[in-house]
Structure 1
Amino acid sequence: MFENAAELRAEYADLGLRMADPGVLTAGSRSRSVGRRYARLGQIVKALDDHDRLFADRQAAAELAQEDPSFAAEVDDLDKQLGFARAKVTALLAPSDPNDDNDAIIEIKSGEGGEESALFAADLLGMYQHYVESRGWKMHVLDSEVTDLGGVKTVTFSVHAGNAEPGQAPYGVLKFEGGVHRVQRVPVTESQGRIHTSAAGVLVMPDVEADEVDIDEGDLRIDVFRSSGKGGQGVNTTDSAVRITHVPTGTVVTCQDERSQLQNKEQAMRILRARLVAAAAEQAAAEASAARKSQVRTVDRSQRVRTYNFPENRITDHRIGFKAHNLDQVLDGELGPVIAALQEADLAERLAMGNDQ
């Protein structure tokens, strides 16, 4: 049934030998990429082994049932287990994003709505922080700009999972958060009690290592300046802020939250790498089939993906028609159900793509 099972088993065995090679283990991103592929193939091979074992058990039970009808119930039970095993293997073999096993870098920017939008962006930041903590992941703010009322004009942060299971790393889980998030509520700045609508943009990018992205130093323009806004002692007194412009693409990254110029440059380069990888993936998707193009919208700020309606305590994800009246809990980090629904819809689309190929 699974035509390429033998090839996958052979690749898994070969990668196991490569993982034992000291040269691979000390090769930086090469070691990480080999390790990720090995872990993902390990999942697939285990699922194939489980499927084959159940299939053999089912065949044996069927033969026994021909002689003794009491084994018919066991055959039925094994048929159910085999169905689940087949579905698991099929899902693991569906076309997937090679960056799904990466950590993530997320940007949130306030949009239409002024101060209310900035306050909503701060709410989104808190929502993701609670969710990250509930998963046992780590979050680190790379750059931010806040307002006097505690809102967020812009914030960029990383999400790190350590040794996450394949398919459960931050980028693979959180990538569907990208897009325009709209809020409907009575702002704290509203004196007449009227409901306002504002929005904030979210961009989710894979966190990649320096040796995984080829960036020509000659393509960079680097400017340093004095940090502005709130900061600790020493942050606003030296030219520690860094602005990096990637001239070929016009991508501009600014970092000023760290104390030293070197630290800010390192963080800016980290964000730049993530943006360039995300842009390349989006361009490749746009050039592919119509089915694949539809996925681009999930990471495009120009597309409204979700509405947070406070008067009705309702959250709506417009891409899949998901609705729930537990907005307060979602903002406290209970994103699991909506993320699971998005992943299920994505899997169905990837399976359909695989069948078309």
Structure 2
Amino acid sequence: MSDKKQGAGKLPELLAEYADVEHQLSDPAVHTDQAKARTLGRRFAQLAPLVAASRELDAAHDDLDTARELADEDASFVAEADALTIRIAELEARLRELLLPKDPNDGKDVILEVKAGEGGDESALFAGDLLRMYMRYAERQGWTTEILDNEPTDLGGTKSATVAVRAKGLDSAVWSRLKYEGGVHRVQRVPATESQGRIHTSAAGVLVLPEAEEVDIEIDPNDLRIDVFRSSGPGGQSVNTTDSAVRITHIPTGTVVSMQNEKSQLQNREAGLRVLRARLLSAAQEAADQQASDARRSQVRTVDRSERIRTYNFAENRISDHRVGYKAYNLDAVLDGALDDMIDALVRADTEAMLAGTE
């Protein structure tokens, strides 16, 4: 059986799931468990467009039948029948898109990491620009952000930063939008430190991970080695005089997470565990499903200028995404968080590739 037929066959199952989720959400007892209510609410929001399209398609078919019957007696209904035929084709295409296999992480929040790469101080300044861009984009989307860790530089750049990005209410679009941002970002501009006006090229890396709930990844405390040390700021200056910074090592995998943003050792430990869970979840998914690995092939491995997914050209005010050939001359707006047009182009290309695979 083709993927297309399998997708169509799933529609009754998904409609039944929507009805079940709707019923559960109507039960006041469910809302005493906030985690469960949040999960159900997000699933309800994910299924709602599919249900709406299915209902509209059913109504359009009914209207078409009626218009065709009336057209036999009144020619004025012929045009209406023709318009409904076109509308039904559009709705069927929309439904095919909505029935495509979903990324299992699309309903998750995100842990986003930005790291300076080649280019020294200029790379760190650019990493700081990227961090602000994502913070502004999240603000525009109505999401919340929490800086879990940040290593600033003397010039006001960012050596490395880790941010949790979370949706509010029933919104479940954080991963589905930000997952395309993982990779190497290249900048071409005259650095603030350049006295002769020459354009330099440098790079920064972005890693996007779906945030894991404790139920997604269970970590055995015996598998952790936790070291504490004194936080340090730009130039090696002490941020505080207590050993509040935390380094967590997951012994079975060798994964290491360091946190020093908070003054409390406990807060840094909790933030570190959130990042560790996200990294372990991503690694487990990649190991279990080669398709997941393929979907992350653009995620940054080494922050090298040659492995870029996007270029930010300041002289031309140009932004270029090399994966889909997207180009626009509104770099200033993009850096202020206007990412939707570019992300929409990536989503469309992703959808078109999946649709082509079902034919």
When normalised by structure 2's length, the TM-score is: 0.89
The structure 2 residue matched to 1:315, chosen from 305, 316, 319, is 319
- Deviation sequence 1:2-48 (CA, Å, 0-9, x none): 33322222222233344456775555655543443333223322221
* 1:194 corresponds to: 198
Seen in structure 2, the aligned counterparts of structure 1 residues 242 and 149 have a Cα distance that, compared at 3 Å, is same
**Cα RMSD (Å) of the superposition?**
2.2
CA distance in 2, matches of 1:252, 1:57: 61
Indicate yes or no: 2:126 matched with 1:117: no
The structure 2 residue matched to 1:273, chosen from 270, 277, 291, is 277
CA distance in 1, matches of 2:35, 2:253: 24
* 1:163 corresponds to: 169
Q: Any conservation in 2 of the 1:96–1:350 contact (CA below 8 Å)?
A: no
Report 1:246-325 matches (<5 A): 246-285=250-289, 287-288=290-291, 294-302=294-302, 303-325=307-329
- Deviation sequence 1:89-135 (CA, Å, 0-9, x none): 21211111111122211100000000000000011111112211222
State the aligned residue count: 346
Q: Look up the equivalent residue of 1:342 and give its one-letter code.
A: L
Q: Any conservation in 2 of the 1:106–1:203 contact (CA below 8 Å)?
A: yes
Seen in structure 2, the aligned counterparts of structure 1 residues 147 and 5 have a Cα distance that, compared at 3 Å, is same
Indicate the SS of the match to 2:225. strand
Query: How much has 1:333 moved relative to structure 2?
Result: 1.4
Q: Look up the equivalent residue of 2:84 and give its one-letter code.
A: L
* 2:230 corresponds to: 226
CA distance in 2, matches of 1:305, 1:281: 23
* 2:43 corresponds to: 37
Indicate yes or no: 2:35 matched with 1:3: no
Indicate the SS of the match to 1:212. coil
Indicate the SS of the match to 1:184. strand
* 1:138 corresponds to: 144
Q: Any conservation in 2 of the 1:202–1:301 contact (CA below 8 Å)?
A: no
Q: Any conservation in 2 of the 1:29–1:212 contact (CA below 8 Å)?
A: no
- Deviation sequence 1:40-72 (CA, Å, 0-9, x none): 223322221111111111121122112221101
The structure 1 residue matched to 2:156, chosen from 143, 150, 153, is 150
Q: Any conservation in 2 of the 1:178–1:301 contact (CA below 8 Å)?
A: no
Indicate the SS of the match to 1:155. strand
Query: How much has 1:308 moved relative to structure 2?
Result: 0.7
Query: How much has 1:209 moved relative to structure 2?
Result: 2.0
145-154 or 299-308: which moved more? 299-308
Indicate the SS of the match to 1:73. helix
Indicate yes or no: 2:75 matched with 1:106: no
* 2:21 corresponds to: 15
- Deviation sequence 1:188-214 (CA, Å, 0-9, x none): 112222211110000111122223212
CA distance in 1, matches of 2:88, 2:98: 15
* 1:337 corresponds to: 341
Q: Look up the equivalent residue of 2:194 and give its one-letter code.
A: E
Report 1:177-188 matches (<5 A): 177-188=181-192
Query: How much has 1:148 moved relative to structure 2?
Result: 0.4
Indicate the SS of the match to 1:211. coil
Query: How much has 1:164 moved relative to structure 2?
Result: 4.2
Indicate the SS of the match to 2:72. helix
CA distance in 1, matches of 2:139, 2:40: 28
- Deviation sequence 1:234-281 (CA, Å, 0-9, x none): 951111111111122211111111121111111111111111122223
CA distance in 1, matches of 2:140, 2:42: 24
Q: Any conservation in 2 of the 1:235–1:258 contact (CA below 8 Å)?
A: no
CA distance in 1, matches of 2:34, 2:273: 18
State the 4+ residue runs in structure 1 displaced beyond 6 angstroms: none
Q: Look up the equivalent residue of 1:324 and give its one-letter code.
A: A
* 2:217 corresponds to: 213
Structure 1 stretches lacking a partner, 5+ long: none
* 1:91 corresponds to: 97
CA distance in 2, matches of 1:300, 1:147: 22
Structure 2 stretches lacking a partner, 5+ long: none
Q: Any conservation in 2 of the 1:29–1:211 contact (CA below 8 Å)?
A: no
Indicate the SS of the match to 1:57. helix
When normalised by structure 1's length, the TM-score is: 0.90
* 1:346 corresponds to: 350
Query: How much has 1:293 moved relative to structure 2?
Result: 5.5
The structure 1 residue matched to 2:65, chosen from 59, 63, 67, is 59
CA distance in 2, matches of 1:80, 1:165: 31
Q: Any conservation in 2 of the 1:117–1:198 contact (CA below 8 Å)?
A: yes
Seen in structure 2, the aligned counterparts of structure 1 residues 163 and 30 have a Cα distance that, compared at 3 Å, is closer
Q: Any conservation in 1 of the 2:245–2:260 contact (CA below 8 Å)?
A: yes
